Structure 1
Amino acid sequence: MPIAFLAGNDLSAIGTVKAIKESGYSVPEDFSVIGFDGIDLLNYFTPSLSTVKNPISKQGIMAVNHLIDLINEKNTGQSFVLKGKLIVNQSTRII
């Protein structure tokens, strides 16, 4: 049986927590849940959701610059890695 769920975004993680609770289990006692995005809605959610905060502004700027390069046929084949920040809250436990 899994001990943790890593959702692709925070809204999916919220849905995961809801499904876990509806199945009679607890977060984080039975399952840890972590999302990805760091959306402001998390401030109003119980238990507070652990998440990876994405540098969305920087991601957008890099995407637009890359799109402009593609339009101008300057495809360098470059890949990009952006560092997110792990924010540990009440939806995860130490194992």
Structure 2
Amino acid sequence: MSKEKEITRKFSKQITVASLAAFFGIAGVGLLIGNQHTAQIVDALGPWVVAMLAIYMGIGHMDFRTSKGLPGFFSDILTLAFTRKKPESEGEKE
């Protein structure tokens, strides 16, 4: 008896919320205690947090679509990029 587990993106959503909560928590604590370097810390960490979340969510989305047998965003883009009409030769036009 093999049971297929329904694939959800619950963990992906939880890790995204936790990462954002931690980032804003760091910023909030820094503001509450009056740390003068809070703006620099947020400025340095912000792009990394956003980039890592985008990468993680992108991979999760592709994995989710693959598990459902659906084409992913990148496969659609690659199909558009590499399939095109071949130009007609002079002899075929007539």
Instruction: Give the TM-score band, short-chain normalised.
Output: 0.3 to 0.5
Provide TM-score, normalisation by structure 2: 0.36
Whose radius of gyration is greater, 1 or 2?
2
Provide TM-score, normalisation by structure 1: 0.36
More helix by share: 2
